[in-house]
Structure formats: structure tokens, C-alpha cells
Structure 1
């Protein structure tokens, strides 16, 4: 039979578990147990807990039943409730009123009755009417009575806050919401100022107010502040379905600033939340925000694009029939706006007015703002980073305060207004600049940042960028590629675009079905696309497949060209896999110089020919491109002089062919190549100077030269620690690629930018940039690039303390690494994910991930056996690190089995100069002692502490030995064994008696133990 202790244990476990449907179900079961026992105290306590769980767990409507039971009980037997329970009842009552108002199925009369009961209850308890007026103001808005809402807000401001009021961060949201609905933008911003500036906060602030303030910030001419509020608050709400209404404000904002891609991405990510809306009003808000994003997508010409995710079916607040993932954006837009309008009409019927529908219609037709910064290339696509925000107004009044002289504030202040010097009332804190002035200022600042450079203040020339024409199919891609291959320095913007299109759209025909006569060209293009996707092994294999064909066309020159391209891919593959290049450097250098020497000799023969035939010209073009590849290989091998020599031979080849066979001006192409050699081979200053000089030669710089120059300046800036300069350069490189629609090159640029932001400790911006890059890479199926981004995002998540991100990206990286056969690194990232799960109090998942990491270790080696044993021990520790002691005890037997498996894993590893088996078994005992202490088995843990001490001291590891003794002191102290505990403390002091141990954590710990035992 269930006992009182069982119920209390269930409540304790649920409290530790956190809010959500699972917790609510556990507490609901505890309610039924309390009813079965007939224990009045527990019947009250469990229902208070259940009401709280429903309210906080996104199921607020379910809270009405347990709340009503407790309210009725309190009215009949107030003595059954202690003071803390009465205060909780105050909070539950005000929430109940809000829940009723937010759902049109609750009649207006019933809502009014609840309001009257709330006032009666608060007056009877002697509470301030601040909460009552605040709730009435919020409910008046839901009833479509904005004049009444304004009157109640004035009364709310005129009353004192008390212990029943929402916190200082949440309470003002009533006035922000009113100002949002009535489009009093300055009042909304002024009311939100304390939260926006960080003066006040709580568990749901500032992110909730930041979300609600997005449109007011934007409409009041503060686009930079709005963008920052969006970035900061979205990261906080993006994992909680309870934040659906906040998400709605973000979608509205993104639509109105023209960020269609980001809006669609977020909409798709969270569309399933519609089925979890906690009220009809939340659902209506979400439908409104999503409709605006879909509207802008349709206006951008994407109406026939498939939405790509299912619209969920739901019927709790309004019947949503659901839509397939293949449904077009235009149809989803039409359906969603229809649902929103019909749901708004339900509010209108209940309310007896059309205010809710009127607000919806104003929102659905609201024009987009011209708030995006002007892109220097003129195509309107630009990476936005955080910039200093616009000035915010003075905070608006939200509750009764008393001046220092004891006088109450004047009437204008109570209304959230201020007076000017002549005593005339005006809207709170007017802007010092107009929206257009603010936008112009932002563009100017963005332009200055983007065009700054090392060594001067003059901006770089504008980029002469015209977006390449679309590639219709694979045949067109091959033919455009062939045209580019006819010129020296073929890496034009259109060349990059064609390769990128093949890499992201899989346009080429299968092997064996190529266009007749273009077989090797198709193979080279396919290999270039694989290289773009960082699939180096596949690219090498493809070139080897078509090597005989190009050798047949060009003789040994064709084979040399393929071999240099593959050598370049080999070096890049080592870099990606983080393999040292030292073992292969000499061989590769010898191979590269041999190939380049043979090509240079052929160039000399060709340029000395008095009259080149077309075949000779084609050979010179191929030889020149091969030498440019060779110069890149030599640069990677730090052979500066040889690389510069190869470029000089390219110049001789270029002089011998007609100018129409040059991709661009050859002096620009070759000088940029020389700049890259200099900078990457250690002559950073001269390399950067030359790159800048190339970029300034013309009134408009070619996009390829601009992108290459920006990349070089960015990398060089990173090497010397000039992170702000690197950020500016990588940002412009990314802007060029995004504007041209070259996806994977843009991903690479964003990756560089994200890395620079992280190095500058601008973690929020780094995470946003890297996540954008990841989204592009995943859509393109570029798994190798996605792997690198997942790893960077896991690292950034650690820096930001975002355990969910660490777990998500570490696990994703581990899965890709496993697929690639990189087991050791996969195990490392599984351990990162396990640690994050442990920090999130998900001990069972953490234990499983540590186990998976252990299973990846190579037990054919001694180190693999040791690493497996250590990972298993971490799994056992995680398993018992549960939310409550009874739960931990229930897993002890399984933990013991894992620990025995861990001991067997390293049992056969012999001692070496750097390894002590005695130390290892001591460390095992240390973990075993912790596991037994965590499960309440203190008496068993004592001997393991002694064994751990002996093992550590085998190698004179006093630091670790002191940890074992500290646990011993803790065990004795918790068992009430004072003398034994003090003796263990004395052993720690003796162990760490030398002066260099002063301040050690173990000494501080035993001091605290000794203090408690006095």
C-alpha cells in the first residue's frame, strides 16, 4: 500500500525533475494516492504542487481543477493551510483568471465572476490591489476592452506592489503588452527599459520582455536594439514550447525586417509547437507570426516552394487539420491566415466586439520596415553582427512609488507619461533621431566597419558583383565549366558558382552517361564539386578515374595536372583530419617540385614556338592553371621561393596566349597569388600590402579578387591577434558569397567569421553565424563541413554555458565521426555530450553516452584498455548521480556491475615508465567510494577511500591522495564519527604540510569539516 512517505518522496522527485508533462503526470498520480489515504494535508499539498506543475509545464488550463478544489477547501477550512500555502494560493488565483481570459470558450460572465472573486479574496486577505488591477488590465485586453485596460493600468500604477505581485522583471509586461496592442511604441519601450538594460531579471527575463519589445523597438526607430534583443532572447526561448507566444513575436519581427530565410528556418524548426499551445490566445499569436513569415516568403517569389515540414493537427483550442510537408508555402499561408481569422472570431463572439480581429488584421497587413543595413555590394544580402544599440528612453512608471520628500508622483507620471519643461504632457521620452536618420547612421557605421583595413582609413573600392545566371541542368553546368577551363586563372565568380551548383544540387549525369566528348571535363567538374564539399578522398578517386582520358588529350601534362590537384587534396584532407603533415612533407615536396619542373619545361618549349597552334594554346592554358595549383601546394608545404617561381612561369605562359584566354587581368591574378604565397609562408606584412594594393587598382574590384583578398587579410589578422580586423574581413568575404548565391563558399566564409568571433569572445554572435553556416551546409548535404561546424558549435556552447547546445552538437559530431571511422575522436565527443547531459541532470542519458564512448575504444592497445575502463567508471558514476537518494540506490547494483567491467578492462595493462597499475586501481577505488557515498552506503565506502589513498601514494600523488582523505573525512562526519573525521582531516594536513600546498582545495575542505565538528 502507498504510504505517506511514498507520496512525499514522489513530490520531492517531481520537484527535482523540473516542469513538464512527465512531472505533471507523476504529481497527478500522487494526488490520487493522497486521496486514497484520506490524508488532508497531503491532499492539499499534492494539489498545490499539481497546480504549479500545470502552470509552469505549459498545461495551464489543466490547473483550474486542482486550484478550484484547494480554493474551496480554503474557504471552508482556512486553518488547514499554512502561511506559505496561502501565499501560493494567491498566486494560483491570479493565474486562473488569466487562463480563463485567454480562452474564448470561457464565457465573459464567467471571466467577470473570477475577477470579482479574485478581488474579494485579495481584500479578505488584506493584500494590495496592485495584482487585482494588473490582472484586470490583462484580461480587459483579452476581452477586447482597451479603454478599460488603460483605466486598470492607471490603477495598477497607482498601487503598491506586495509579495503577491509578479517580480520586477515580469510585472511591467502588462503595460508593455498594452502598448504593443495599441501601438504606443515609445511607452512599450520605456516600460521595458529596466529589463532591456539588465537592471532587473529573473528565470524568464529578460528574454520574455525582449521578445515582446521587438516590434516596439523596431517601430520606434531602434533596429540595432531590436536585432540584439532578437539574437539574445531567441537563444533563451528556442528549446521551450512554453515560449510559443514569445516565438510568435520573433517571427513577426523577422518577417517585418525582411529576414525571410531566417524566419522560415525558425518557423520550420518550431512548427510542431502549435499542437502544444497553452491557450487559444497563444495559438492565435503563433498563427499570426507564422502567417507574416509566409506572406513575406510568398512576396519573395517562394510561394511554390514546399514548406518541407508537416503542419501538426490539433483540436484543443481550434481544429487544425494539419498539412503535409509537401504543401506549398502559398497554400500554408492561405490556410494559416484563415485559421487565425476564424480563431479571432471566436474571441469576438465571446467578447461582443471585434477588437481581437481588428488587431489581427492590422498585423497581417503591416508593411515591412526598411531596417536592414545597406549592403556595400548593392544586392541587399549581408551578415549582421551586433552594433551599439540606439539610446533608450527613461523608464516608465509601473507602480506607486514615493519621492524622497514623501510626495506621491503626479498624475502624468502615473499614466506612464512625462512633462516637458513647460509642463506639457508628451509621450514618454521622444526619440532624439528619426527612424530614417537611425537607419542611415547604421548604414554608415556598417560601411565603415566593413571597409576598414590594415594600415589606413580609406575604404576599399566597391565590389563589381553581378549575380551569376542560374544553372538550369547538368549539361549547362558542364558546358559553362568547359568555357571557363579555356582561360588562365579560370576561378572566376561564375566558375565558383557553377562548381557550387553542382556540389549542392547533384546536377551531373551518372558515370558512363556523360556528354560525348566531354567525359573528362565532367569528371574534373565532379571532382571540383567534391572538393568544395570537402570530400577529398572521393575527389581524388574521381580524378584518377578520368586521368587516362585527360592524358590522352594532353599527354603527360594532363596527368601532371591531375596529380597536382590530387596532391593538393591530400594536404587538405590531412588538415581536415587533423593529421600531422610532417611525415609526408618531404615526399610531397619532392613530388610537387618534380611535377612542376616538368610542367615548367613544357611551358618553356611552348613559349619558344614561333607560331602556336590552337592545341599549343590549350596546352599553355592547362599548364598555367596546373602551375597555379602547384604554387598552392608549395605554399602549403612552406616552399615560398619555389611557389613564387612557379607563378613567374605562369606569367610567361600568359604572355604567350591571347588576352581573351585570360580570365581576368593577369597582373591582378598573379599578384594576388603572390600575396597569398607571401602571407602564408610567413611574410605576412608584405603579403597583406600586396593584396591591398591589388584590391585598390581599379574603381571597382572583381568579386574573386575581393573575396581572396579579404580572406588573406582575415587569416593574417587572426595570426597576429587582430580579431576585430579579422571579423571585418571575413564578414565582407561572406557578404560577397551570400550575395552571389554561392552556398558552400559562403559556408566556408561564415565558418571563418564564426571562428574569429569566438576568438574575440563574442560567443553569441559566433554561435549565430556558425548555426547559419550549419543550416546551409546541412541543406547542401555537406556532411564533412557540417562536422567541423558541429565541433565548433559544441566548443562555443561550452564557452556560453549552453549545455543543451553542447550535448546536441557533440552528439551530432560523434555520429558523423563514427560514420567516418574516426572512433577515438567520436568517443571524445560522446564524452562531451555525456558531460553536458550530466550537467542537465539527465544522469541516465549521461551514463549511456559514457558507455557508448567506452565501446569505441580500441582495446587492442594498452591505452585503449585504460580509456575504456575510465569511460566505464564515468558511466557508473553518472548512473547513480540521480535526483533523489532512493533513485540513486535503485541503480547501485547496475553501477557495481559497470565498475567491475571497468576493472577488468585495465587489469592486464602492465606498468611502464609513465603508467602505474597501483595508481589506476587506486583511482578505481576513489570512484567506487564516491558511488557508495552517493547511494548512502557510507560504511562500505570507507575502505575504498583507504585503498584509493594507498594507490595514489604508490606514485606519491599527494594531490589525488588528499581527495581520497577528504572523502574519508566526509564519510565519518556524516556518520557522526567525530574522532575519526578529525583524524582524517589531520591526515590531510599532514599530507599537504609543505608550504607550496597552502591554499589547496583539500585544506579548505577539511577546515570546513573541522568547523562543523566543533
Structure 2
């Protein structure tokens, strides 16, 4: 009974070892120690104590490890014979854990830490271990204390010492060495130290998690933001929720605070807000509090102190109050450390960390980037404008009237240029008005600007503004400008649902402009502008379906606008570009009415872009160029589409509003992905997500940009980044309709599968299948069912996987895809075999797969391509059945019972024949199956060797060499294997 109980405790420890880090795992380990004590078995008690120390080490309760370790050490001192070799190793290994963790607890005196360090050195020496690990721990203590001479001496001795069983793993040593170099501003050397970890050559339970975080700021300082972004996305995914990695998580928050990604930083802080207190490891808590204060300070700079945020449970928090809370705790901790250490090193280093300034205004990460309570960004304002720098208000000693006159002149100049920053200039004019008396012209100009500014939000107010402007222009004796505003009021009227009034206003505006032009009191610009307004009225009525004849009227008005705007006339330097801009706008609107004729639409959009360029308004050329790029893409001219979209970005650089910039970047990313330029697509998708977030569209087009980004990451094999980005966007994508939701879940599932997060992947595939089920389309549903089954199988959930495979099999059959039915049957066969059963159930499923393939091949009228696919599936079924039988015969631990020698021989013989049959089947499938054909022959030869049928094996190996001689490098590896096996057979024959 005691032996059974001991075994149960050991199994429970193994299960708990694989549980998530944290208090529940620790509590279970404590229970197991109590149970081990009841057995009176020293071996299981030592194992339980060692397990308890491990759970404490990887949690925020590291201080608790001192007690069980002291107990183990007493047991060693009382009777070392109680410890087998493994348990003695674990005792000394955990010695350095205890020693290294003491420095993180300010209540432990320095004298005790130094005494323990000496005790560690003594015991290691007596046990025959090298001093290398002791010097490493001494280095950490000296570094913490700021004793640089001692730290450098210990560091050198550590690196020079011999490695032995007690040495830290290579990955952990590289992590610490890199941190030391980085702390001395030797970033390149730090990255050199970290490279084996970052490159995947070295790893352990907590690496590369920590190194990915440590590398973030050094990479930014070295001008490698792309690498920093990737390390953040990969690294935080690894560290998230792991309380033993609290300082690592803090590094990610710090990175967000210093790269303009406060929204991401807030999300991370909220996920770990329970650690914003003093209940855990003080050293780790201090690091986390520092990062929190740094982040919250950046939010205060942005004016978000009153913004609600997450914090420790028990009260509501704002950014301001949480910052005060974290800062008080931080100050208390650094004071305690300084008092213990007798120096101000910890407080100075903490203050230096908080004093860091942002390294980027905004480094796009691809994940959610919108701060709660932040308003959408306005159109970017460039530092300079064409031909002049915008006037600014002079200092107090200048004449205020001169300053206002300068502002007004600049606003008019930018308006006449059609420059995007004209709106900001007119706002500056309004702000500087004071109690000035306005003349009619200025009153009209201000009313016009107000109308255009509010038109997108309140067309009724806009209409009133345009009416006011028209009246003021008439009073000023400028009938042409009055008519232009009457036309604008017509557009506002139709947008407010007053169709008849809009028609009347539009006609009156055109008539007034023409009359004034004929009288020499207006120009072609005024006339063309009113015609364009009339065209917009009828275009709106056409789109809304309110007027059957509106299309022809809109087209007629646009044609007339183009004719008038293109008339040669001695216009002023101000009027000429404004007329060209009207011409461009007319072509652009014309294109919107020509959607079904792509060639004519393209011509109209190109004409509009060219007119803007001739008008000296390249920033506006982006408006027609972006839809022109989409037209080219619909025509199949993807290269032309990408070039046009790139022109749109180039012409509008720094001047496109955030939505325009974001949608253009997204278009380019889609086009680059189409030509598989995924590295370039990543950059444009990042920019798209950034600008769409800034425009307040992160939940709409911004989510689509993140899906594109994830797909491009996925195509590059960067599945951690893909999954992190897509999980961030998933809630928004799920609101974009069933197609988008299903695609997002499938993409996420694929990346999770590659990351071996199979259970999570299965959940995504299953939820995608639930969405697809209502479509009545068996093919995508069958695909998702297969993906779900594969993920469940990989997750070890055998019964659920079998049910999913059976469902997929039925769906593939309903979809009329027998090749996939065959594959599903084979997958079920392997699942049955790996469940620990005999060969018979798996053989039966493989035979059913073979029959399915043969029956499908026998169908009359089968097309050549599906026939070739089925022949390959049939040959592969023979090959996989052979492998299944071989594995059973080799008894690799799958089966529940021993196999008799004659039964094993029969299985090997059948497998050899099936491999040979498969090779012949692949031969009928042409050169595309050369590799699997050669592999089948090699496998057949290996089984023949197992059967000691060396002559048959030699014949098959020679066939491989002949194939390789015929096809060269394609089969070089197979030829090499065949040659090695033939050499062995020759040696056997000679012996």
C-alpha cells in the first residue's frame, strides 16, 4: 500500500510540475510535501521538497523556498546517504537558487547574504564542484550593490572558470552576460552575447523569453526597430501571465512607453495589475513598478491623467491615482534596498530608469494602438508648406494687426493652393480675430470655411454657413464667389434630404455664375465650380435611387464642367490652379459613375490625377490615384496597381489624412502579398494599422490591416508575431461579418498549430467551422473539420480527434473530394495505431482508404488532374500502411502485447511488399513523385535487411542509385543513403 501511495505522490508531482506557475501550483506542492511526510520515505520526501522549491522559484513566492531548502540541507548534513545521485545534484543546484534570490529581499541583511555566499563556496568545494557558479552569484551580488570593481573581478573569474554540472545553462549565462554589457552601453557586444539565444541555438525554461525583452531597448538604440518590434511580439507572447517573469514583462511595458505605444503598454499592465503591490518578490516588484510609473508618466504627458484604468482590485483607478500608488510603493522599496545596502545605488538606478525619454514618437507594432479616451488624429501638419512657411503670431513687441494680416494672407495663399493645411490656417485666423470689425469679404471667407469644416458632420449648419457666405459675397460685389457658395448650399441641401430644393439651388447657382461671367464679373472657375456642384447633386440622387434621370443629368453636368474647366482663358496665377483642381474633381466624380467600364473609369481617374499635378496640388492626386490602383488590380495589372498606389503615397507624403494614408498602405500591402513580397507587405500593413488607428478606425479597416499583417507574418514563417497580432485584432474582426470572422479564426488556428499550441488551435478551427456551417458550402467546412481533427490529435485528445476526423470524412465525401476522404481515413488509421492498439484497426482503415481511391479511379469520365492526384494518394496509402505495419513489428512501444517472432516476420514481409508496391505506384505518377518513390525503395530495403533478405535489399538500393543517376541533384540525398546501405551490405557479405 505504501509503495502504491509513493507512486501516486510521484505521479502527482509530475502532473503538478507541468501546471502553470503560480499560487495554486505552489499550494499543491505544499500538499504533496505533507503527503510525502506521512509515508516516512526519505526518498519521496526529498523529491517533494525539491519539487516545492522549484514551484516557489518560478513564482512570486520565491522567499518561501528558504524553509524547504533549509530542511533538505539539514537532511543532507544528518545523512548524505539518504540522497541518491539525482537528489544530491538537485540539492546543490537549488543552493544557487537560494543564494541568488536573497539579494531581492531587502529584509535579508547583507551579512547574511555574504555568509551564505561563503557557505555555498565551501560546500561546492567539498562536493568537488568548480568555483565558476559561485563567482557568478558573487558577481550578481556585487552588481546589485554597485560595487563595480568587485563585480568586474567576479565577472572575469566567472567567464574564466571551468564549467561543470553546477554551471548555469548556456542560455541563462548568455542572458546575464548580455545584460551586463548593455548596462555599460555596450549594446553591440550585448547583442553578440545574446545572439545564440535570439537565434534559437540556446534555450531553456525562461529563455529566450527574458533575452527577447532585454534586447528591446538596445536594438532601438542601434537603429534596428524592426528587430525590436519582432522581439516584443514574440517575447511578450512567451512571458504573458508568467509571474516568475515579472521583470521581463516590465521590460515590454517599458518598451511600449518609450515607443509611443502607451495603449499596448496599458493592456499589458492591466493583464498583470494584481502585481502592483508588495506581496511578491520585492526585486521583481520594483522592476514592475518602475515600468508602470514610466508608462503612466507618458500618459500624463498626453493629458490622460483622468482616464480610467485597471489597477489592483478593491477600488477604481485613474491614470493619475494609479501613478501615485505605484510611485509611493516604488519609493518605499528603493528606500528599503538602500537602507539594507548602505548605498543609494538602487534609488539612483531606479530614478535613471524613470527619466528615460521616448525613443520613437510612434513605432507601429501592428497590435491595438488606440488609447482609451484619445480623439482621432487630424490630418498631419507638415513642418513646411509650398513656397513659404506658415506665418506665426509675432512676439509681444510687434504690432498685433501685422500678425493678423500675416495670418490672413497665409490662409488665403494656402486656400488658393488647395493645400491641406489651409483649414488649420483659417482656424488660426478665427482664433486671432478678437473684436475686429470684419469686412464683407472676410466675413464671407470665414463663413465658407466654417461650412466646409462642418459639412461632414452637420449639413444643416453647413448650408446656413454657405448661405451666409453667398450673401456676404453679393454685398461685396463678388457675384462669382456668391454663386460658388450657392452651389455648395445645393450640395448641402441634397445631403440633408431636400432634393427639390437642391435641384433649384443648383440651377440658380449655375445661372448666376454664367450671367456674371458673361458680364465680366466672374471667371470660368466660378462657372465650372457651380456646374460641378450641380453634378454632385444629381450624382447623389442617382446613387440614392431618388431620380431615374439623375445619371444622365449628372453625366451631362460633369461633361459641361470638364469643357468649361478646360477652356483656354487668360486666368490669373491664382485662378488657373483652382480651375485645374475643379477639372480634376470633375474627372474624379465622373469615374464614380463609370464603375462598370473599367477602362473608361481608369481614364477618368488618370485624367483627374494629372489635372491635380498640373494644378500644383500633388497631395490631392492621391484621391484619384488610390481608386485607380484598385481599378488596375481588378483588371489584373497588379504591378501597375502597386506603382500607382505608391505614387499616391509619394505625392501625399506627410499630407494625407490618417484614413487616406492607412487605406493606401493597406492597398499596397495587399498588392505586395499578391506577388509574395511579404517582407514589404509587413511594413505597409504596419503603417496601415498605425494610421487607421490614428483615424479612429482601428476596429474597422484597422482590423483588416492587422489580418493582412498576420497573413504576411505567417507567409514568412513568423507565427508568433502572426498569432499575437491576430489575437489582438480578433474581437474586431469577429464583428466584420461571417467571412472575415471565419478567415481570422482559421488564420489564427494555423499559426497556433505551428507554435504547437494545439488545443488553442483546435478551438479556433472549431469555432470557424461553426460559422461556416450555415453557408451550405461543404468544401470550406470539410477543410476546417480536418484542421480541427489534426489539432486535436496533436493535442492528445484522441476521442475528440476521432469524432472530428469522422465528420471531416463525411464532409469530404459530400463535397465530392475522394482524395481527401483517403487522407482522412489514413489519419484515422494512425490515430488508432497510436492509441496503443494492435495493427488490425489501423489496417482496416488503410484498406478502406485504398478501396476509396480505387473506386474513385474507376469512375467514368475522370479528368486527368484528379486522376493523377488519386493515383498519388493510392500509392501513398500503400506506403503509409507499410510504415504502420513496420512500426508495429518493431514494437516501438505502441502495442499493448508482445508480438510473436513469426507474426513480426509476417508484418515485416507484408510491409516490404507494400513499400515495393508504393514505389511502383509513385513511378506511374511521373517526376513529381521521384522523392517519395526513392524513399519507398529505401524503406523497403531497410525492412528487407531486417528480414535478412540482403539480395532483395541490394536490388532495391541499386534501383535508387539508378534513379539518382538519371535525375541528378533531385535525389542526391537518397543516393547517399543508398550508397551507405550498400557499403554496409557489402561488408556484411565479406564477413
Tell me if both proteins adopt one fold, taking TM over 0.5 as the criterion.
Answer: yes
**Superposed, which structure 2 residues align to 1:5-154 within 5 Å?**
40-45=42-47, 47-49=49-51, 51-52=53-54, 54-56=56-58, 60-61=62-63, 63-64=65-66, 67-76=69-78, 78=80, 87-154=89-156
Looking at structure 1, the residues matched to 93 and 759 of structure 2 have their Cα atoms a distance apart, in angstroms, of 35
Instruction: Flag the 1:285–1:746 CA change in 2: closer, same or farther, 3 A.
Output: farther
Instruction: Flag the 1:211–1:670 CA change in 2: closer, same or farther, 3 A.
Output: farther
Aligned counterpart for 2:852 among listed residues 939, 951, 971? 951
Instruction: Flag the 1:210–1:688 CA change in 2: closer, same or farther, 3 A.
Output: farther
**Superposed, which structure 2 residues align to 1:219-258 within 5 Å?**
222=221, 224-225=223-224, 227-228=225-226, 230-239=228-237, 240-241=239-240, 242=242, 243-249=245-251, 251-252=253-254
Where relative contact order (Cα < 8 A, 6+ residues apart) is larger, the structure is 1
Deviation at 1:147, TM superposition (A): 4.8
Looking at structure 2, the residues matched to 552 and 603 of structure 1 have their Cα atoms a distance apart, in angstroms, of 16
Aligned partner of 1:933 in structure 2 is 833
Looking at structure 2, the residues matched to 628 and 135 of structure 1 have their Cα atoms a distance apart, in angstroms, of 77
Looking at structure 1, the residues matched to 775 and 301 of structure 2 have their Cα atoms a distance apart, in angstroms, of 61
Instruction: Flag the 1:548–1:282 CA change in 2: closer, same or farther, 3 A.
Output: closer
Deviation at 1:869, TM superposition (A): 5.2
Cα distance per residue 1:719-755 (max 9 Å; x no partner): 4289799779648857434xxxx44334324534655
Aligned partner of 2:316 in structure 1 is 324
Aligned counterpart for 2:659 among listed residues 739, 744, 760? 744
Deviation at 1:280, TM superposition (A): 1.8
**Superposed, which structure 2 residues align to 1:812-827 within 5 Å?**
819=735, 821-822=737-738, 826-827=741-742
Query: Quick check: 1:674–1:687 contact (8 Å CA) kept in 2?
Result: yes
Looking at structure 2, the residues matched to 28 and 838 of structure 1 have their Cα atoms a distance apart, in angstroms, of 35
Instruction: Flag the 1:462–1:796 CA change in 2: closer, same or farther, 3 A.
Output: farther
Looking at structure 2, the residues matched to 727 and 54 of structure 1 have their Cα atoms a distance apart, in angstroms, of 55
Looking at structure 2, the residues matched to 129 and 616 of structure 1 have their Cα atoms a distance apart, in angstroms, of 92
Aligned partner of 2:639 in structure 1 is 720
**Superposed, which structure 2 residues align to 1:303-452 within 5 Å?**
303-306=304-307, 308-313=308-313, 324-325=316-317, 327=318, 329-365=319-355
Aligned partner of 2:748 in structure 1 is 833
Deviation at 1:933, TM superposition (A): 2.4
Looking at structure 1, the residues matched to 938 and 632 of structure 2 have their Cα atoms a distance apart, in angstroms, of 52
SS across alignment from 1:936:
coil
SS across alignment from 2:746:
helix
Aligned partner of 1:962 in structure 2 is 875
Deviation at 1:109, TM superposition (A): 3.3
Deviation at 1:119, TM superposition (A): 1.6
Aligned partner of 1:788 in structure 2 is 704
SS across alignment from 1:468:
helix
Looking at structure 2, the residues matched to 377 and 462 of structure 1 have their Cα atoms a distance apart, in angstroms, of 15
**Superposed, which structure 2 residues align to 1:466-505 within 5 Å?**
468=424
Looking at structure 1, the residues matched to 171 and 320 of structure 2 have their Cα atoms a distance apart, in angstroms, of 39
Aligned partner of 2:930 in structure 1 is 999
Instruction: Flag the 1:688–1:991 CA change in 2: closer, same or farther, 3 A.
Output: same
Aligned partner of 2:920 in structure 1 is 990
Give 5+ residue unaligned stretches, structure 1: 314-321, 382-460, 473-482, 503-507, 522-542, 559-598, 634-638
Q: Which deviates the most, 812-821 or 783-792?
A: 812-821
Deviation at 1:827, TM superposition (A): 3.5
Aligned partner of 2:435 in structure 1 is none
Query: Quick check: 1:851–1:872 contact (8 Å CA) kept in 2?
Result: yes
Instruction: Flag the 1:92–1:969 CA change in 2: closer, same or farther, 3 A.
Output: farther
Looking at structure 1, the residues matched to 576 and 8 of structure 2 have their Cα atoms a distance apart, in angstroms, of 79
Looking at structure 1, the residues matched to 603 and 572 of structure 2 have their Cα atoms a distance apart, in angstroms, of 32
Aligned partner of 2:580 in structure 1 is 667
Deviation at 1:21, TM superposition (A): 6.7
Looking at structure 2, the residues matched to 495 and 75 of structure 1 have their Cα atoms a distance apart, in angstroms, of 89
Deviation at 1:819, TM superposition (A): 4.7
SS across alignment from 2:497:
helix
Aligned counterpart for 1:281 among listed residues 272, 275, 283? 283
Query: Quick check: 1:963–1:1002 contact (8 Å CA) kept in 2?
Result: no
Query: Quick check: 1:873–1:902 contact (8 Å CA) kept in 2?
Result: yes
Deviation at 1:629, TM superposition (A): 8.9
Looking at structure 1, the residues matched to 619 and 681 of structure 2 have their Cα atoms a distance apart, in angstroms, of 29
**Superposed, which structure 2 residues align to 1:777-926 within 5 Å?**
780=696, 783-803=699-719, 806-807=722-723, 819=735, 821-822=737-738, 826-858=741-773, 861=776, 863-864=777-778, 867-868=780-781, 871-872=784-785, 874-883=787-796, 888=797, 891-892=798-799, 894-898=800-804, 909=814, 915=816, 922-926=822-826
Looking at structure 2, the residues matched to 113 and 869 of structure 1 have their Cα atoms a distance apart, in angstroms, of 67
Cα distance per residue 1:208-259 (max 9 Å; x no partner): 45644666677xxx4514x35532321222221455424544554665x6x4
Cα distance per residue 1:638-669 (max 9 Å; x no partner): x9xx9999477346169799999989723245
Instruction: Flag the 1:903–1:175 CA change in 2: closer, same or farther, 3 A.
Output: closer
Aligned partner of 1:980 in structure 2 is 910
Query: Quick check: 1:969–1:980 contact (8 Å CA) kept in 2?
Result: yes
Give 5+ residue unaligned stretches, structure 2: 364-378, 385-416, 429-440, 468-490, 545-550, 858-869, 890-903, 947-991
Q: Which deviates the most, 79-88 or 624-633?
A: 624-633
Looking at structure 1, the residues matched to 503 and 605 of structure 2 have their Cα atoms a distance apart, in angstroms, of 36
Query: Quick check: 1:94–1:135 contact (8 Å CA) kept in 2?
Result: yes
Query: Quick check: 1:133–1:156 contact (8 Å CA) kept in 2?
Result: yes
The question of 1:553 aligning with 2:472 is answered no
Deviation at 1:815, TM superposition (A): 6.2
Query: Quick check: 2:609–2:622 contact (8 Å CA) kept in 1?
Result: no
Instruction: Flag the 1:354–1:933 CA change in 2: closer, same or farther, 3 A.
Output: same
SS across alignment from 1:171:
helix
Deviation at 1:344, TM superposition (A): 0.9
Deviation at 1:168, TM superposition (A): 5.1
SS across alignment from 1:97:
helix
Structure 1 length as normaliser, TM-score? 0.64
Looking at structure 2, the residues matched to 41 and 155 of structure 1 have their Cα atoms a distance apart, in angstroms, of 36
Query: Quick check: 1:170–1:205 contact (8 Å CA) kept in 2?
Result: yes
Looking at structure 1, the residues matched to 655 and 153 of structure 2 have their Cα atoms a distance apart, in angstroms, of 53
Aligned counterpart for 1:649 among listed residues 561, 567, 577? 561
Aligned counterpart for 1:622 among listed residues 533, 537, 544? 533
Aligned partner of 2:865 in structure 1 is none
Structure 2 length as normaliser, TM-score? 0.65
The question of 1:1011 aligning with 2:927 is answered no
Looking at structure 2, the residues matched to 498 and 40 of structure 1 have their Cα atoms a distance apart, in angstroms, of 81
SS across alignment from 2:129:
coil
Instruction: Flag the 1:851–1:270 CA change in 2: closer, same or farther, 3 A.
Output: same
Aligned partner of 1:403 in structure 2 is none
Looking at structure 2, the residues matched to 341 and 663 of structure 1 have their Cα atoms a distance apart, in angstroms, of 66
Query: Quick check: 2:710–2:722 contact (8 Å CA) kept in 1?
Result: yes
Deviation at 1:946, TM superposition (A): 0.8
Deviation at 1:947, TM superposition (A): 0.6
SS across alignment from 1:665:
helix
Q: CA RMSD in A?
A: 5.7
Aligned counterpart for 1:772 among listed residues 674, 690, 694? 690
Aligned length: 793
Looking at structure 1, the residues matched to 255 and 729 of structure 2 have their Cα atoms a distance apart, in angstroms, of 32
Instruction: Flag the 1:827–1:937 CA change in 2: closer, same or farther, 3 A.
Output: farther
Looking at structure 1, the residues matched to 142 and 356 of structure 2 have their Cα atoms a distance apart, in angstroms, of 24
